[in-house]
């Protein structure tokens, strides 16, 4: 099935996002990267630094998606509990990983800094994990089953994602076309709904924009092949010309 | 119980966010506003324009929080299905609301534009809803039970939030203090964990920052009263002086 649909979800872990102190950035980056790769991001959840909340979100979303990503909560402090919660969710033993210990020990030795007990926390992983290289600050992420556990700091998250992307199955890549529409959604809504129904293989969305006091609507058509895309596009363009 | 904990969650509805075309902005704004009001935002979920996904998220999160907010999916096009899905989640009849019809009819008459069938979709609500005024583009949001259904366009979401904020119970407002720390999390992690344990009524978080090649950690202490805050702060400051 080369054209099977591949889906993903992300669980972002962090009190600092829920309190509004930090603005979340990784989910949006992931959405753009997966979209380009033909992988369908189905859900984003932001949960607190709370064991039960992480376990619940991880178990729900890994079961219904090809891939699950997590962001955040893998640093060296007491509130970094993601790795342990993921191990609990997967029912796997949890402890220091010798490969991660070696990577971190070498990193701190090269920096002339002590490999403290807190830093050693970052080597703890579920049994059976594959490491994800962290070229920024050494502490690795990991993959276990279909769960990718990655850092919350955006440049590290992005570097880890670059590293795992080549390992992912990519889905059918949808073609897309954007049509600029100067009529409001209230004007074109019914006609657009009829076109959407007439082209079940195309995804037709409309997105209102307000910019500099100007109002317009972006109509986005996505389809698995050029013929389907063209047919839907022609109907949208004819509708825009015909009706107004 | 004047100091009871008041919690909230938000469900953001929109394919355009999951595909990465649009960057979500309302959850972060809500987090900041609720935090200032002493309301604890516990979870953020972004789901697709999909009936079953919206119903599931609404029912799960409204049951476990004082308030639930939704953002998006209340425009006039076929992919705007939030109001109907919320009605289904709450098990309430769904149809045109006479007050909303009147507001919208007057709005389009004043603008000299037709009150189309697509625009009339925006007046449909669950039975028993209270309207939320929309000073930007008229189409109202609504409150039903503990669910606040609001627009996805950020200036409208923000205006609606301003309108509902005075109607919310606010929780205990936590005092907070931020301490700048030039040591990394790996250095202070264990000591900070011990302080966190010693002050169960205080919330102590640490947040790494990389800025212009410089690395530092923000330690944030939150507590319900000044005495608790001070005690935890003194321990953190003493730890920072003593250890290095």
Q: 3-class SS at A176?
A: strand
Closest CA to B93 of B66, B59, B129: B129
Signed CA dihedral, A101, A107, A113, A119: sign only: negative
Instruction: Count CB-CB contacts under 10 A for residue B106.
Output: 12
Mean pLDDT, range B118-138, rounded to an integer:
95
The domain spans of chain B are 6-167, 175-243
Which segments of chain B are extended strands (E)? 6-13, 39-47, 67-71, 94-96, 124-126, 130-132, 141-144, 147-150, 175-181, 203-211, 214-223
- All residues of chain A having their beta carbon less than 8 Å from the beta carbon of residue B203 are 15
State the pLDDT at residue A213: 67
Closest CA to A107 of A94, A96, A123: A123
- Tokens read off for B28: 């972060």
Distances (CA, A) of B186 to A37, B192, B193, B217, B239: 36, 10, 12, 10, 14
CATH H-level, domain A175-243: superfamily: Ribosomal protein S10 (3.30.70.600)
Residue from the list A31, A33, A77 with its beta carbon closest to the beta carbon of B18:
A31
Signed CA dihedral, B153, B156, B158, B163: sign only: negative
- All residues of chain B having their beta carbon less than 8 Å from the beta carbon of residue A19 are 31, 35, 41
Among chain A residues, the shortest Cα distance to B34 is held by A19
- All residues of chain A having their beta carbon less than 8 Å from the beta carbon of residue B122 are 186
Residue from the list A45, A153, A208 with its beta carbon closest to the beta carbon of B153:
A208
- All residues of chain A having their beta carbon less than 8 Å from the beta carbon of residue B121 are 189
Q: What is the pLDDT of residues B154-209, one digit of tens each?
A: 989 999 998 999 899 987 677 889 998 888 888 888 899 999 989 988 888 887 77
Instruction: Count CB-CB contacts under 10 A for residue B242.
Output: 8
Q: 3-class SS at A161?
A: helix
Distance between CA atoms of residues B35 and B12, nearest Å: 18
Q: Are B20 and A222 in contact (CB under 8 A)?
A: no
State the pLDDT at residue B1: 36
State the pLDDT at residue A202: 86
Report which secondary-structure segment, H or E, holds A66.
none
- All residues of chain A having their beta carbon less than 8 Å from the beta carbon of residue B32 are 20
Which residue would you say has higher pLDDT here, A184 or B53? B53
Among chain A residues, the shortest Cα distance to B186 is held by A119
Q: Provide ipTM, 2 decimals.
A: 0.82
Chain CA centroid to CA A62, Å:
13
- All residues of chain B having their beta carbon less than 8 Å from the beta carbon of residue A193 are 77-78, 118
**Separation in Å, CA of A161 to nearest CA in chain B:** 15
Q: Are A143 and A83 in contact (CB under 8 A)?
A: no
Closest CA to B125 of B158, B157, B87: B87
Q: Are B94 and B126 in contact (CB under 8 A)?
A: yes
Interchain pair B18, A28: CB under 8 A: no
CATH H-level, domain B6-167: superfamily: MoaB/Mog-like domain (3.40.980.10)
- Tokens read off for B201: 């009524």
Residue B3's pLDDT band, with cuts at 50, 70 and 90, is low
Residue A223 predicted with pLDDT over 90 = no
Mean pLDDT, range B107-133, rounded to an integer:
96
Among A99-103, A188-192, A211-215, B96-100, the least confident range:
A211-215
Residue B41 predicted with pLDDT over 90 = yes
Mean pLDDT, range B89-112, rounded to an integer:
97
Q: Is A145 left (phi over 0), alpha (psi -120 to 50) or beta?
A: left
Q: 3-class SS at B133?
A: coil
Signed CA dihedral, B58, B64, B65, B67: sign only: positive
Mean pLDDT, range B230-238, rounded to an integer:
95
Which residue out of A76, A159, A161, A232 would a mutagenesis test of the B interface target, given it has the greatest number of B Cβ atoms within 10 Å? Answer: A76
Which residue out of A186, A200, A243 would a mutagenesis test of the B interface target, given it has the greatest number of B Cβ atoms within 10 Å? Answer: A186
**Separation in Å, CA of B49 to nearest CA in chain A:** 10
Which residue would you say has higher pLDDT here, A54 or B241? A54
- Tokens read off for B19: 């595909």
Interchain pair A190, B22: CB under 8 A: no
State the pLDDT at residue A218: 86
Q: Are B75 and B81 in contact (CB under 8 A)?
A: no
Distance between CA atoms of residues B116 and A158, nearest Å: 45
DSSP 8-state code for residue A39: E
Residue from the list B21, B118, B192 with its beta carbon closest to the beta carbon of A185:
B118
- Tokens read off for A95: 């402890």
- All residues of chain B having their beta carbon less than 8 Å from the beta carbon of residue A22 are 207
User: Which residues are bridge partners to B46 per DSSP?
Assistant: A44, B12
Scan for tokens 């080369």, then name that residue: A2
Q: Are B222 and B176 in contact (CB under 8 A)?
A: yes
């Amino acid at each position: 099935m080369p054209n099977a649909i591949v889906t993903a979800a992300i669980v972002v872990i962090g009190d600092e996002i829920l309190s509004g102190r930090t603005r979340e950035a990784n989910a949006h980056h992931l959405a753009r990267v997966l979209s380009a790769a033909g992988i369908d991001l189905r859900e984003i959840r932001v949960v607190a630094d709370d064991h039960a909340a992480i376990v619940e979100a991880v178990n729900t979303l890994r079961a219904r998606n090809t891939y699950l990503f997590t962001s955040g909560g893998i640093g060296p402090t007491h509130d970094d509990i993601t790795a342990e919660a993921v191990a609990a969710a997967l029912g796997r033993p949890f402890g220091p990983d010798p490969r991660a210990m070696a990577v971190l020990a070498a990193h701190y030795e090269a920096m002339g800094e002590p490999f403290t007990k807190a830093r050693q926390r970052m080597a703890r992983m579920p049994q059976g994990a594959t490491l994800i290289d962290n070229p920024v600050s050494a502490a690795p992420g990991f993959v276990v089953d279909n769960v990718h556990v990655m850092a919350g700091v955006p440049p590290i998250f992005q570097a880890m994602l670059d590293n795992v992307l080549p390992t992912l199955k990519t889905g059918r890549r949808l073609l897309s076309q954007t049509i600029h529409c100067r009529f409001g959604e209230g004007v074109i809504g019914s006609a657009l709904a009829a076109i959407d129904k007439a082209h079940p293989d195309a995804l037709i969305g409309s997105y209102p924009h307000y910019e500099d006091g100007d109002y317009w609507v972006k109509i986005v058509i996505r389809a698995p092949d050029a013929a389907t895309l063209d047919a839907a596009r022609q109907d949208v363009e004819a509708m825009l010309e015909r009706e107004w």
